[in-house]
Structures are given as structure tokens and as C-alpha cells.
């Protein structure tokens, strides 16, 4: 029993430097720009690692960016998920972060976090005016994937 415990301790101590190095590595910074009805600055494909999203609004309206990831096992398209009632859709996605900015201003960055393999979406849900269409209905979303 003690031999197994000792082996586990040795194995864990060998793994710690590797884990510490990857966790403390500088994140890749994505300078994300919102313009009216589109996002730029997010590549279509990323690799698993730490990312930080800076957010700048170069549009004429107040903009937000909400970053989401489909939960493991979810096969529905983003379009299908967006058509679901909000409560049901929220059970199928993981919230990554959000930022808001007035026209011509920078928003607070979405803090660095590890993006694992999966399907992601940057989207703007807020609408301008009580009866206006949300901007994602006009195409203000950016799909991207994290792949090995």
C-alpha cells in the first residue's frame, strides 16, 4: 500500500511542473472588434490553450460580445440553439464571458481562460430600442472552433 502511495506522490510531483508551466503560460490575446452587425479579430479555428478577449466597439451602436461554448455532446447547430426558449438553450451552452462597450470605446476584456476543444460562438444579444431586432438576427455573431 505504501509503495503505491509513494508511486502516486512521485508521479504527481513529476506532473506538477508541466501543469504549472501550461497554466502560467501567457494567454493569446484576441483583439476583438465589434462593428455594426459583425465581429472581427476571432479566427475561425483556434487550438486549445489560454485566450483573453479584448473588446473594442467601432460601430455606431452600443455593442456587447457574449462568448459561449456548446456543452460536450450537444450536436444541434447554433441556429437551432438560438431558436430554443432561453431556459432550454442555457442548458446546452457554457458561458465563457461577456463585454460591453459604447460606440468608439473599449470594453472590459474577457479574462483569460483555457478554451478546450469544441464549438464556440461570439454573439450580440442586446437590441437597440424596445422593438428592434437583436443584432444577431442581422448576422452579428462569429462562430469559431477550438481543435487539436
Out of 2.160.10.10, 1.10.8.420, 3.40.50.2300, 2.60.40.420, select the CATH number for domain 26-146: 2.60.40.420
Q: Is the pLDDT of residue 97 over 80?
A: yes
Domain ranges (residues) in the chain: 26-146
> Could you report the per-residue pLDDT of 14-63, keeping only the tens digit for each?
443 444 444 557 999 999 999 988 999 999 999 999 999 999 999 998 99
Q: Which of 5-9, 63-67, 135-139 is predicted most confidently?
A: 63-67
CB burial of 32-66 (b: ≥16 within 10 Å; e: otherwise) equals bbbebbebebbeeebeeebbbbbbbbebebbbbbb
What percent of the chain clears pLDDT 70, i.e. is strictly above it?
Answer: 83
**pTM for this prediction:** 0.81
Amino acid at each position: 500500500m505504501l509503495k503505491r502511495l509513494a508511486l502516486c506522490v512521485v508521479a504527481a510531483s513529476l506532473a506538477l511542473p508541466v501543469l504549472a508551466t501550461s497554466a502560467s503560460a501567457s494567454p493569446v490575446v484576441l483583439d476583438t472588434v465589434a462593428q455594426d452587425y459583425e465581429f472581427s479579430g476571432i479566427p475561425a479555428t483556434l487550438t486549445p490553450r489560454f485566450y483573453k478577449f479584448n473588446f473594442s466597439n467601432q460601430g455606431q451602436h452600443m455593442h456587447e460580445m457574449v462568448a459561449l461554448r456548446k456543452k460536450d455532446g450537444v450536436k444541434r447547430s447554433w441556429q437551432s440553439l438560438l431558436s430554443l426558449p432561453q431556459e432550454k438553450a442555457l442548458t446546452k451552452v457554457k458561458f465563457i464571458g461577456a463585454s460591453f462597450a459604447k460606440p468608439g470605446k473599449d470594453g472590459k476584456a474577457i479574462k483569460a481562460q483555457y478554451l478546450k476543444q469544441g464549438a464556440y460562438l461570439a454573439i450580440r444579444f442586446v437590441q437597440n430600442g424596445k422593438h428592434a431586432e437583436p443584432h444577431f438576427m442581422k448576422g452579428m455573431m462569429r462562430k469559431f472552433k477550438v481543435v487539436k
